[in-house]
Amino acid sequence: MAKLKKQPRPKAETPKGFRDYFGAEVTQRAAMLQAIAEVYHRYGFDALESSAVETVEALGKFLPDVDRPNEGVFAWQEDSEGDKPGDWLALRYDLTAPLARVYAQHRNDLPTPYRRYAMGPVWRNEKPGPGRFRQFYQCDADTVGAPSVAADAEICAMLSDTLEAVGIPRGDYVVRVNNRKVLNGVMEVAGVLDPKNPDNFSAERGIVLRAIDKLDRLGLDGVRALLGEGRKDDSGDFTKGAGLSQAQADVVMGFMQAKRATGAETVARLRELVSGSAVGGAGVDELETIADLLAAGGYGPDRVEIDPSVVRGLGYYTGPVFEAELTFEIFDEKGRKRQFGSVAGGGRYDDLVKRFTGQEVPATGVSIGVDRLLAALSAKGRIDKDQAGPVIVTVMDKARMADYQAMVAELRGAGIRAEVYLGNPKNFGNQLKYADRRASPIAIIEGGDEQAAGIVQIKDLVLGARIAQNATLEEWKERPSQFEVPRGEMVAKVREMLAGQAE
């Protein structure tokens, strides 16, 4: 037999744009999702978990003129069955498209309105970049089948409660609300939307929507240029503008700058701007109603406010639009102060299930960027990056493993995170190095002498590390970092020391 050619070893690597999460990174996210789910549940939302895989047809990303589904999703074709070609399947790219499919599929069994929350990973087949991954978490809540803006107000209140529940105090965030209908009214007044001939000026409106959606990046001057003749960017590329006159552009610019000192003044200013437009007036009414409903529930402008400069998503949503922004400053990787910015967004979209059923179903919802929210709490020092390591029972005599297992069973029985050292016990230094790497708070030592005397040594590794780091801390030096206690008092002493370390 010919010798098999040696296969090269496979590379131990995550695929490009994916990463692994370890320890506290996993448990902190789980705890945050749990805290969010509790608020959502209290608001009457029910959990939904759809599968990661959907048909490309249901996701709506299939381009009939190409072999492969659209860019942006991870997709593959099932094996054919006989003559029938296999379905194209894909990983979900968000949690809204699956909600549309679920609602259309199960609508006869679901209550109306249907309040649901969903949390889990989504996948994007995009070029990864620094801090941008192809798998990330979303955490959504949506109300399907409720046309009333009371549903939008509820989502805003819930978002406010959620941020406080995960540890963002009042004052450090604000939920800002705007309305697409007001923008439509503004465009009507500016003369680029004619309710009688809705197809007219659609090219201009497209440019206006894209322009204001870029307010964050381009600033007011950049948007203004795009509303008029056009804009040359830093690389010299020219983007053609909407061709609005000065007066027309003023109306649109006025919309984005309509925020006043109080909600009532902002509403009054918006009414002025959309004067004469029915849809614009309806949009302002909706904003006013939302503010009233929220105020009645205790969600005043210190928590939720009307802000016409919220422009992100106005092109996508059909009514109210909301965004949660963290208002505190952090230091970026270059040490510069900056606002933390947006951590959640949402709004009303009324064509959720129309693709499937032909029926228009109103829906409104929010999506929280869990990873950004974790990063914010971490930047503010509001969550520990490290988790408590286990108490380590060291192995002084391999033959006495049963005694050490009994010790660790006692500790665990008392609810204390603990383990026996399971590596090669020959070198005691290695055991302490392992304890260090695990961030162990305490090591327990019971050799032959201790056993004979009925005692154990308990070493405070937190204090030990502090003393080693800072030899000038005289008062610490005098504090003992190792205790000798009778074997029967081990659990009580460990508990006492852990409580002391937590102070």
For 405: left if phi > 0, alpha if psi spans -120 to 50, otherwise beta; the answer is alpha
Work out which of 223, 420, 432, 494 binds its own copies, going by CB under 8 A: 420
Q: Which is nearer to its own copies, 38 or 332 (CB)?
A: 38
Q: How many CB atoms lie within 10 A of CB 217?
A: 8
Q: Which is nearer to its own copies, 355 or 495 (CB)?
A: 355
428 binds its own copies (CB under 8 A): no
Task: Tell me how far apart the alpha carbons of residues 143 and 352 are, in angstroms, rounded to a whole number.
Answer: 11
Q: Which is nearer to its own copies, 106 or 240 (CB)?
A: 106
Residue 277 phi, psi (nearest 5): -100, 125
495 binds its own copies (CB under 8 A): no
Task: Give least dist CB 44 to its own copies, A.
Answer: 3
Question: Which of these ranges, 143-151, 239-247, 321-329, 339-347, lies near its own copies under the rule CB under 8 A?
Answer: 143-151
Nearest 5°: CA angle at 43, between 42 and 44? Answer: 90
**Residue in the block written with tokens 């006495």:** 400
Work out which of 115, 180, 259, 348 binds its own copies, going by CB under 8 A: 115
Task: Tell me how far apart the alpha carbons of residues 443 and 434 are, in angstroms, rounded to a whole number.
Answer: 11
b/e sequence 302-334, b meaning 16+ C-beta within 10 Å: ebbbbbbbbbbbbbebbbbbbbbbbeeebeeee
488 binds its own copies (CB under 8 A): no
Task: Tell me how far apart the alpha carbons of residues 351 and 104 are, in angstroms, rounded to a whole number.
Answer: 12
Q: For the segment 331-360, give every residue that binds its own copies (CB under 8 A).
A: 353, 355-358
Task: Give least dist CB 191 to its own copies, A.
Answer: 26
295 binds its own copies (CB under 8 A): yes
Question: Which of these ranges, 18-26, 172-180, 189-197, 198-206, lies near its own copies under the rule CB under 8 A?
Answer: 18-26
Q: Edge-to-edge strand order for the sheet containing 173-179?
A: 114-123, 135-144, 363-368, 337-349, 320-331, 173-179, 304-306
Q: For the segment 148-207, give every residue that binds its own copies (CB under 8 A).
A: 148, 150-151, 153-154, 157, 161
Q: What is the dihedral of CA 158, 161, 164, 165, to 10 degrees?
A: -90
44 binds its own copies (CB under 8 A): yes
Q: For the segment 398-417, give every residue that binds its own copies (CB under 8 A).
A: 401-403, 405-406, 408-409, 412-413, 415-417
For 44: left if phi > 0, alpha if psi spans -120 to 50, otherwise beta; the answer is left
Q: For the segment 45-64, give every residue that binds its own copies (CB under 8 A).
A: 46-55, 57-58, 60
Q: Which is nearer to its own copies, 115 or 259 (CB)?
A: 115
Name the 3-class secondary structure at 56. Answer: helix
Q: Which is nearer to its own copies, 268 or 439 (CB)?
A: 439
Task: Give least dist CB 161 to its own copies, A.
Answer: 7
